[in-house]
């Protein structure tokens, strides 16, 4: 199991993140799951273990940079490597622009962009050191196109796309893939 890839999945307690966790477990990855709901994370972890995968989980707020940094440091100490970071956690508040508050827009930016920034910042030096890794940022079509009642959400996802494209150019010479 030590040779299996170590993959971090955020937003893993439900939806797309949960499905990604099951797929990676089926492929033999060791998993590190992040989410806010401890009970749901434990349920996903139990199901993932059925595939024979090693699994750890961290319940907490990904908008807290200290929680992110301490958790990633713990992951690295336990596993000695981080092969994949799948940034899937997200928040959508869908309202007409004139009804969307600044606090709601900031909350979406915190979850949808700044948590990805913090997580990537926490893992990137480990990947650079090994000259290997993949960072996958789940964006949705909102990162490419705008839509009615999606101005705040789409803005946060566009930020992720710009970040991903720029980071890819910075680290591809270190054999790190960013998408």
Query: Which segments within the chain are labelled E, that is strand?
Result: 6-10, 30-35, 55-59, 84-87, 133-137, 176-178
Length of the chain, please?
A: 179
Please tell me what DSSP assigns to residue 8: E
153 catalytic? Reply is: yes
Q: Report the C-alpha gap between 7 and 87 in whole angstroms.
A: 11
HSE (side-chain half, CA atoms, 13 Å) at 102: 0
| Enzyme catalytic residues | 153
């Amino acid at each position: 199991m030590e040779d299996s890839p170590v993959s971090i999945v955020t937003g893993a307690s439900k939806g797309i993140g949960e499905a990604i966790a099951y797929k990676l477990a089926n492929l033999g990855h060791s998993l590190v799951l992040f989410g806010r709901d401890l009970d749901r994370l434990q349920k996903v972890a139990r199901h993932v273990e059925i595939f024979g995968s090693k699994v750890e989980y961290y319940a907490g707020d990904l908008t807290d940079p200290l929680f992110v940094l301490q958790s990633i440091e713990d992951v690295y100490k336990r596993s000695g490597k981080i092969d994949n970071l799948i940034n899937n956690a997200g928040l959508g508040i869908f309202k007409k622009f004139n009804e969307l508050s600044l606090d709601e827009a900031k909350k979406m930016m915190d979850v949808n962009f700044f948590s990805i920034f913090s997580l990537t910042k926490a893992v990137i030096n480990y990947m650079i050191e090994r000259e290997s890794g993949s960072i996958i940022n789940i964006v949705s079509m909102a990162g490419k196109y705008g839509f009615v009642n999606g101005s705040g959400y789409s803005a946060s996802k566009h930020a992720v796309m710009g970040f991903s494209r720029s980071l890819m150019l910075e680290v591809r010479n270190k054999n790190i893939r960013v998408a």
